[in-house]
Amino acid sequence: MKLIDLLFKPKIAYAHCDIPCGIYDPHNAQMGAHTVIRMTQLISELEGDSHENEHKLARYTAVKEKHAELVEKEVVTLWSDYFKEEHFKANPNLTELVQQILKLTSKTRQNIDKEASEEMLSKTQELAEIFYKTKNRESKRVKSVYPTEGEIVVLA
């Protein structure tokens, strides 16, 4: 390999992610946040001590934590792989917004906290609006069809 490197000098490739696919979208983060809200609602609705409720609690908690981790993963990917220096300059609150979302993902995993879940969705929606703005596209908030009765940010 060293001989090949000497004969054919390798060029350094620069890309914003491991595979420069260019496919990024805040949709999954928003869906994850809605799921965390819904699982929090379902947990809060459980009444009485029964094996069935214990089973439901375990399942709802597992799904809630899985989707909070999904939000975290999707937001970190956007922050580290998609957003570039010009995006941070145009949106000086972007890093702080990402940090707030990440702290909320932790809080929603550690607790059954409706307000934190809803705030996580709200912050994720703000991130989605910034994302679409970086694409020079209009976005809007529309009422979702989910049991959470919240909104979702989509292209206008």
d(CA 36, CA 63): 8
Average pLDDT over residues 32-37: 98
State the pLDDT at residue 23: 87
Reported as type and span, the H/E element at residue 63 is helix 51-77
Task: Copy the structure tokens of residue 152.
Answer: 């979702």
- Bridge partners, 142 (sequence order): 152
> Quick one: CA torsion of 156, 122, 72, 94, rounded to 10 degrees?
80
Query: Over the stretch 64-123, which tens digit does the pLDDT of each residue have?
Result: 999 999 999 999 999 999 999 999 999 999 999 999 999 999 999 999 999 999 999 999
Predicted model pTM: 0.87
Higher pLDDT, 17 or 137: 137
Which residue type is seen at 38? Answer: R
CA dist 14 to 1, 8, 28, 84, 126, Å? Answer: 22, 18, 26, 13, 29
Average pLDDT over residues 122-129: 98
State the pLDDT at residue 1: 61
What b-and-e string marks burial along 54-73, b requiring 16 or more CB atoms within 10 Å of the CB? Answer: eeeeeebbeebbebbebbbe
State the pLDDT at residue 14: 46
Contact between residue 34 and residue 153 where contact means Cβ atoms under 8 Å apart? no
State the pLDDT at residue 150: 95
Q: Is the pLDDT of residue 20 over 70?
A: no
Provide the 10 A C-beta neighbour count for residue 37.
24
Confidence grade of residue 22 (pLDDT, cut at 50, 70, 90): confident
State the pLDDT at residue 129: 98
Query: Over the stretch 1-19, which tens digit does the pLDDT of each residue have?
Result: 666 666 776 665 444 456 6
